[in-house]
Amino acid sequence: MGESIEATTTLQNSIQMPWLGLGVLHIPDGEVIEQVVQWALECDYRSIDTAAVYKNETGIGAALHKAVVPRDEIFLTTKLWNSDQGYESTLQAFQASLQRLGTDYVDLYLIHWPGPDASKFIDSWRALESLYKAGKARAIGVSNFQVHHLEPLLQESEIPPMVDQIEFHPHLQQPELIQFCVDQEIQVEAWRPIMKGDVINIELLQELGKKYGKTPVQVTLRWIIQRGFIAIPKSQDRDRIRDNANVFDFQLESDEIEQIDALDIGHRLGPDPDTFDLDF
């Protein structure tokens, strides 16, 4: 598992998805995001994670168009924003994302947040299923869905979600949700995996970093991958993008993984999915 940056995990529909990707939240559109994507591709990243609400899909599309790496070698994810939920509005929002990205398909399309109305995200999911059947999204999934969101979705769906992208890091590990996803063969993907960089202040990660000649950030990313989860650290700094990719030449011991597991304090850095309903 995760022996090189080219390594992938197999989603339940047999699609291959890289263990490590580039997150691009808050990276400005235009020249900035184009440069960041170029740096990431030069460091052998092959997965880019964006969203309609990030407002940088246009720049990502321009960067991919200029890239020497073929489009079919890049795993491109984008997401449906809250105010666009519903069957028809989801289809319209997806088409708008495709136009901004300058592509005729995405590799993964996610419902960004569950929202307060289950019937609405189920209608959105039916739209995702139609996009999947049409080949416009090679895989479909959700983001920030808890067990009580996934259960009705699974009951109503024809195609189960292949990914749940959740906040996951040493201080927030959501074990009940993780176990549910494992049982349902839903691939967990970690956003905010390095706690906005705050993992550098955790003593255990500092100690492990000294042992392996790595930074606390690299130890954290390695821990996530060894747990069997995808990590998408965000950076717009060239050196950090490179360093974040340098996590495939060492392996944590099982007891070290358990020690990091024990750091969980249930502390969210992002919104709570049960109360976050912005723009609904």
- Sign for the CA dihedral angle at 14, 123, 72, 243 comes to negative
Dist CA 25 CA 33 (whole Å): 10
3-state secondary structure of 220: helix
Question: Residue 253: which residues within 8 A CB-CB, separation 6 or more?
Answer: none
| 45 given a catalytic annotation | no
Angle, helices 238-245/31-42, rounded to nearest 10 degrees: 30
What is the torsion angle, in degrees rounded to the nearest 10, for the CA atoms of residue 56, residue 59, residue 63 and residue 64? 60
Distance CA 150, CA 220 (A): 27
Instruction: Write out the catalytic residue numbers.
Output: 54
